[in-house]
Copies of this chain bind each other. A is one copy, B any other.
Amino acid sequence: MTVDPAQKSRFSRRSVLVTPAAVAGGALLTGAALAPDSNAGSAAAVRQITLYAESLPGGLFGYGLAPGAATIPGPLLEIYEGETLEVELVNNTDQRLSIHPHGVDYDVNSDGSPLNASFNAPGETRTYVWRTRKQVDAGGGRFMPGSAGYWHYHDHALGNDHGTVGIQKGLYGGLIVRRRGDLIPDRQFTVVFSGMLINNKKAPDTPMFEARQGERVEFVCIGHGDLPHTFHLHAHRWADTRTGMLTGANDPSPVIDNKNLDPGSSFGFQVLAGEGVGPGAWMYHCHVQMHADQGMVGLFLVRNPDGSMPPGAQAAIDRFQHHHVAGPQADHSNHHG
């Protein structure tokens, strides 16, 4: 299975949001006409999108940017700190559902919770308003945090009042609130650990993320479901900060390559693909051994700078395909004694 990275960018586009070059693990929301800093200073910009919640084969559900275009995870949404996003959600299913964001500001009508009667009845269209804010100097060397961060959104109403079934069946996606001046990546990948699945798939069907050696790639990692997880990426590391980078030579933040990704949590980071390690097929996986063994594993394929396959990468991909169909299972029964 070789994949042309160019294929990854064949998604609908809308001129509403920040423009990365390519997104995998979810649809792309871009603003081709919007340079990253084009509206610096217009803090009150209001952006509008329409999302369609739809049924998918196998009893699954997804959010999409057009009818028939729902994906799991849903589109990666991205705005700048200070902006407002109006999300018109069209419910094309026969279920009660909603959209609940993390990190941003919303009043009770946009909470996305049945508690606040904030949901879409079957067939209903409803608009949810998400505002963001810049940090505020509270005096005395203290700042109240702004909205910038790697956040996410998910259903909070399908199946029960906490959206447990909606989340289980695929109604989730990433949400980035960028700060002016933040680096814009070349490629973006959304990774959702939910149950024992990645983006509702098991290996070998988990997403293979692709980039060329040296490209700036951004991972947006989201946890859901009932189980604790840890996200590990081979051969790359990041700082445990808002951006994954450090702010100075003496920044005390830990540098890590493995991080808890437990239900409701999210984080993100940028790395230069293959920097210092070269191209190849690198694993990303849950480091809970039983979860990895049962399929919470995927590949981050770093191609040569010209886009060609590096030596050994196709063999690794073939091995990955074979292993997770026919590979041996470890005995977890006596792990704990």
Contacts and interface: CB of A to CB of B under 8 A. Distances in A.
B246 A247 contact: no
A138 B245 contact: yes
Interface string A249-279: 1111111111110111111000010011110
A335 interface: yes
Contacts of A266: 258
Contact of A196 (B113, B249, B259, B336): B336
A328 B252 CA distance: 43
A330 B169 CA distance: 12
Interface in A98-112: 102-103, 105-108, 111
A234 B168 CA distance: 20
B141 A283 contact: no
A232 B265 CA distance: 9
Interface string A190-229: 0000011000000000000000000000000001111110
Interface in A276-317: 276-278, 280-283, 285, 287-293, 297, 310, 312-313, 315-316
User: What is the interface residue range for chain A against chain B?
Assistant: 35 or more
Contact of A116 (B135, B257, B316, B335): B316
A95 interface: no
B258 A265 contact: yes
Contact of A140 (B163, B181, B316): B181
A262 B160 contact: no
23 contacts: A107-B280, A108-B280, A108-B312, A115-B281, A115-B323, A116-B281, A138-B245, A140-B181, A143-B249, A145-B244, A146-B255, A162-B293, A162-B297, A162-B330, A225-B288, A228-B228, A228-B262, A241-B252, A241-B254, A243-B252, A258-B264, A258-B266, A262-B287
